[in-house]
Amino acid sequence: MSGYSKWDREAYVERVGGPDEAERRRRTLMARVDGYQLAEIRRQRGLTQSDIAEIMGVTKGRVSQIERGEAFTVDVVSRCVEALGGELRLLADFGDHTYKVSSEQLRAS
C-alpha cells in the first residue's frame, strides 16, 4: 500500500479560496520557475546579476526580482532575455494558424 493519495483539485481550490486564487497561485509558481531558469542561464553564461542589470539599465535588485518571478511581464522578460544574448519569441496559436510577434514589436509597446 502506498503512502500517496490522489490529488483532489476541487478540495485544493476550495481550500485556497476559490478558482481565482488557485489560478493566481499557479501563475506565481510558473513565474518563479521561469525566473529560476533565467537565473540558471545567466550563471551558465558566467554573468552576474550586476552584469545583467548594467546591460538592462536597471538595478541589481530588479534583476533579483525578475529571477524570483516577482517582476515577470512580457516586456521585462524580453529585455532580460536580450541581455542574456537571446531573443524572446512570442507565438499566438489559433489552431489553424500561428502568429509570431517579433521582439522589436515587444520593445515598441
Kindly report the CATH number assigned to the domain that includes residue 49. Answer: 1.10.260.40
pLDDT score at 109: 53
In a domain, 81, yes or no: yes
Helix axes 74-83, 19-44, angle to 10 degrees: 10
Gyration radius (Cα) of the chain, Å? 18
Does any domain span residue 42? yes
Grid coordinates of 34: 521561469
Our CA dihedral for 20, 25, 31, 32, rounded to 10 degrees, sits at 170
Flag whether 4 is in a domain.
no
Say if 71 falls within a structural domain. Answer: yes
2 occurs within a structural domain: no
Nearest partner of 106 among 62, 73, 59, judged by Cα: 73
The number of distinct structural domains making up the chain is: 1
The pLDDT of residue 7: 85
Residue 75 lies in a domain: yes
Domain membership of residue 1 (yes or no) is no
Structural domain for 84, as ranges: 9-108
The reported pLDDT for the residue numbered 89 is 86
Q: What is the pLDDT of residue 101?
A: 81
Q: Is residue 3 part of a domain?
A: no
pTM of the prediction? 0.77
Q: What pLDDT, on the 0 to 100 scale, is given for residue 10? A: 93
Tens digit of each residue's pLDDT (9 = 90 or more) over 18-66: 999 999 999 999 999 999 999 999 999 999 999 999 999 999 999 999 9
pLDDT: which is higher, 48 or 88: 48
d(CA 104, CA 42): 22
Mean pLDDT of 85-109: 81
Per cent of the chain over pLDDT 70 is: 91
| Cell 490529488 found at | 7
